[in-house]
Each structure stands twice: as C-alpha cells, then as structure tokens.
C-alpha cells in the first residue's frame, strides 16, 4: 500500500507544484523516488514530529499543500496538539500519512502499535479520516486527499491477499464499498483487516445459511451514512470489524450513527482490539489472534449472538 501511496504522490506532485512532502526521518526504501524527483519540495525534518506539523502549518498558511509522513503512532500521538491547534483549528491543507496502522509493525512492540489513531483523529473538527484496505483504495484516497481542501489523516498498511473489489469502482471520500453482497447480516470493516471480515463472513454463511454482506469502509470520517442505513433497514444484524481499539473507532462511529437514527438494527456488535495493551510478542496475525480477532473466534461469536436473538 505504501508503494501505491508513493506512486500516486509522484503523480500529484508532478501535476501540482504547490505540494510539499515532509517526513520525520522515515521512508528508507520507500520515499527515495519522491526525494530524488522533487528535491526542492521534499524535506526530512528530522526526528521531530511536532516541528514537522508546525512547519507544515507554516507552509500551508502560505498556500502550499503539505504531505506529512511518519509511522502512524508517532504521527498521531506525539504531535496531537499541533495537529489539533495548528492544522485543524486553521483548517489547512495538511495531509497526514501514517505508515503501519494497527498491528502492522507487530514485532516492533507496543510503541509502534497504532490502535487509537482513528478515535483521536476522528474527534478533531475539520479532519477527514481514511483507512484504505486495497491498493486502489490507497491510491484513490491519496489522490482525493491531495485534491480536496482541508486536513486529512490516512493510515497506510499492507494490502490484504486478494482484491475482491470491482474494477469500475472509483474512490470517493465518504463512500463505502460492498465487497460481498448479502442482506441478512452486514459486516462493516475499515482498513486491511478486510480479509478477516471476508473469511469470517464465509464461515458465518456456512453455519447460519444466511447471506452476509461485507462492506469496506475506507472513509471513517465522513462516514457513508446512506449505505449503512440502507443496509441496516433490510438486515437483521450489523457487525463492525477493525484493527483499532473498541473505543472510538469505526464501531463507535457506526454505533453513533445507528443510535441517533430511526433505523435501529436488532443486533449490533463491534469487534476490535481490547482496552488493554497486548504485550505478547509475535507477527500481526498472531497478535490479532491474541486480541480475539480471528475468523474462528469472530464467526463463533457472531453465530451464537445471532442464534440467541433470532
């Protein structure tokens, strides 16, 4: 996905001489092409995230569109106040691209696990929050972020194994995509944990003999209200899956929407990461499994909840 991001950035920077690229000393084996092609608009600000956001703010106040890049946890947590007060308060064209959301930096340890980013970014006025799953979503979200005004935060992770999306789809901010059709149960997922949602849906279908829809929601803010409410109207149960804390992420956003609308699902449950640090050592799949995010566990929970209610 990082490759898709870089490719799209090269296209956009060529088109728009006002785009600057700042990195907080990250990008080895990834950003060299941008640095070499646009040396005057590429700055390594050093290991200084707060300064990066401040400098980006200054550039944007003078009319530039600024990409800021670091590991997602540092980009969102270390300089949160600069993002809020400098970028969002002034509503500037500063775009935050965070590498490795969720457990994508698994064996690096808890400092590099990014499991609160969606919640805190979503709470900021003016901020748009993107969490793409596939290459085309990442490229589309990058293009959209760089061609629409205002602040954007985007998570860059690894692509899921298989791409089930349709070739005619175009990326639009605020739009969800139904990867797998179905009407009885709806599973909404954001980011590259989508493959787990699909695997879970298949298991649930084979047990319950019900049709399960899987929706990829690369845009968490703004959220595709229309799609969610339309699907909820017909479905009996809604589930969300995300590689993020259960507090304040996609599940929170969908719950807020459903509770404040007249269309209520009979059954709703969000799946995500528990409210404690997972200190176990292992790769991404291992950590997700430790956190309870496996197709076996999720499908068991969904089927038992479903059978209890219906």
Binding mask 27-46 for other proteins (x = CB under 8 A): ----------------x-xx
**Across the strands, what pairs with 22?**
43, 68
Smallest separation (angstroms) from other proteins to the CB of 65: 12
User: Out of 8, 23, 57, 175, which residue is the one contacting other proteins (CB under 8 A)?
Assistant: 57
Smallest separation (angstroms) from other proteins to the CB of 45: 6
CA-to-CA dists, residue 69 to 24, 61, 131, 219, angstroms: 6, 19, 15, 19
**Which residues have C-beta within 8 Å of that of residue 61, sequence separation ≥ 6?**
90, 92
58 binds other proteins (CB under 8 A): yes
> What's the rounded Cα separation, in Å, for the pair 154 and 82?
17
Cα maximum dimension of the chain:
62
Query: CB under 8 A: which stretch of 54-62, 105-113, 247-255, 296-304 binds other proteins?
Result: 54-62
> What's the rounded Cα separation, in Å, for the pair 123 and 32?
33
Binding mask 90-109 for other proteins (x = CB under 8 A): x-------------------
88 binds other proteins (CB under 8 A): no
Identify which of 301, 308, 310, 309 has the alpha carbon closest to the alpha carbon of residue 204: 301
13 binds other proteins (CB under 8 A): no
> What's the rounded Cα separation, in Å, for the pair 175 and 157?
20
Cβ distance to other proteins smaller for residue 94 or 141: 94
Q: Do residues 238 and 258 make contact, with C-beta atoms less than 8 angstroms apart?
A: yes
How many binding residues for other proteins (CB under 8 A)? Answer: 24
51 binds other proteins (CB under 8 A): yes
Q: Do residues 54 and 33 make contact, with C-beta atoms less than 8 angstroms apart?
A: no
242 binds other proteins (CB under 8 A): no
127 binds other proteins (CB under 8 A): no
68 binds other proteins (CB under 8 A): no
Cβ distance to other proteins smaller for residue 101 or 151: 151
Q: Looking up tokens 């479905």, which residue turns up?
A: 235
Give the residues lining the site for other proteins (CB under 8 A): 43, 45-46, 48, 50-51, 53-64, 81-82, 85-86, 89-90
């Amino acid at each position: 996905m990082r490759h898709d991001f870089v490719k799209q950035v090269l296209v956009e920077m060529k088109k728009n001489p006002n785009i600057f690229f700042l990195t907080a000393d990250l990008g080895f084996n990834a950003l060299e092409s941008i640095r070499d092609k646009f040396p005057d608009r590429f700055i390594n600000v050093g290991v200084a995230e707060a300064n990066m956001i401040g400098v980006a703010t200054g550039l944007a106040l003078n009319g530039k569109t600024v990409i800021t890049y670091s590991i997602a946890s540092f980009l969102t947590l270390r300089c949160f106040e600069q993002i809020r007060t400098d970028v969002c308060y002034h509503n500037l064209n500063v775009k935050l691209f965070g590498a490795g959301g969720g457990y994508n930096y698994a064996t690096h340890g808890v400092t590099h696990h990014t499991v609160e980013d969606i919640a805190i970014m979503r709470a900021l006025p003016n901020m748009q929050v993107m969490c793409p799953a596939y290459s085309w979503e990442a490229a589309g979200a990058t293009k959209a972020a760089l061609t629409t005004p205002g602040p954007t935060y985007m998570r860059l992770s690894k692509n899921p194994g298989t791409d089930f999306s349709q070739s005619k789809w175009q990326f639009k901010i605020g739009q969800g995509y139904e990867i797998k059709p179905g009407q009885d149960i709806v599973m909404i997922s954001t980011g590259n944990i989508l493959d787990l949602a699909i695997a879970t849906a298949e298991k649930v279908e084979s047990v319950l003999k019900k049709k399960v829809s899987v929706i990829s929601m690369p845009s968490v803010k703004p959220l595709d209200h229309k799609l969610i409410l339309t699907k909820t109207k017909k479905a009996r149960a809604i589930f969300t899956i995300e590689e993020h804390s259960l507090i304040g992420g996609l599940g929170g956003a969908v719950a807020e929407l459903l509770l404040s609308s007249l269309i209520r699902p009979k059954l709703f449950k969000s799946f995500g990461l528990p409210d404690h640090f997972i200190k176990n050592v292992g790769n991404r799949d291992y950590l997700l499994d430790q956190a309870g995010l496996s197709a076996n566990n999720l499908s068991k929970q969904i089927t038992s909840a479903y059978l209890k209610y219906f």
